[in-house]
Amino acid sequence: MAVVLPPLVDHIAAIKRRLLLIAATVSAWFVLTFAYATELIDWFRRPLTDDLMFYGPTEALFASIKVSLLAGVVLSLPVILYQFWKFIEPALLPREQRWAIPLFCLAAGLFALGLVFCNLVILPLVIQFFVGFGMDRELMPQLAVGTYVDFNVKFLLIFGFAFELPMVLTLLSRVGVVSPELLSRYRKHAILAALIVSAIVTPDATLFTMLLMAIPLVILYEVGILGARLFGRRNPSGGQGLKLDRTAPAGTAGHRVR
- The DSSP-derived string for 49-71 is SSPPB--STTHHHHHHHHHHHHH
Can you give the residue ranges of every domain in the chain? 1-160, 164-233
Lowest mean pLDDT among 46-60, 65-79, 175-189, 226-240: 226-240
3-class SS of residue 144: strand
Confidence of residue 125 (pLDDT cuts 50, 70, 90): confident
Instruction: Show the CA angle centred on residue 166, arms to residues 165 and 168, nearest 5°.
Output: 65
Question: Could you tell me if 129 and 208 are in contact, meaning their C-beta atoms sit under 8 angstroms apart?
Answer: yes
Instruction: Report the phi/psi class of residue 211: left, alpha or beta, with left for phi > 0 and alpha for psi in -120 to 50.
Output: alpha
Looking at residues 139-155, what average pLDDT do you find? 83
Q: Highest mean pLDDT range out of 7-16, 78-87, 156-165?
A: 156-165
Provide, rounded to the nearest whole percent, the portion of the chain with pLDDT above 70.
Answer: 84
pLDDT tens digits, one per residue of 66-89 = 899 989 988 888 888 888 877 777
Mean pLDDT (the chain, rounded): 80
Find, among 211, 253, 221, the residue nearest to 91 by Cα. Answer: 253
pLDDT at residue 203, as a whole number = 63
Q: Is the pTM of this model over 0.85?
A: no
Query: What end-to-end distance do the CA atoms of the chain give, in Å?
Result: 31
Looking at residues 189-199, what average pLDDT do you find? 90
> What Å distances lie between residue 43 and 118, 120, 216, 240, CA to CA?
13, 11, 23, 54
Res. 10: pLDDT tops 90: no
pLDDT at residue 234, as a whole number = 65
Find, among 220, 217, 225, the residue nearest to 199 by Cα. Answer: 217
What's the burial of 33, exposed, middle or buried (CB within 10 Å: 0-12/13-18/19+)? buried
Torsion of CA 253, 98, 223, 122, to 10 degrees: 100
Q: Report the alpha-carbon distance of residue 94 to residue 77 in Å, rounded.
A: 24
Residues β-bridged to residue 53 = 144
User: Which amino acid type is present at position 106?
Assistant: L
CA dihedral sign of residues 172, 178, 183, 188: negative
Residues β-bridged to residue 217 = none
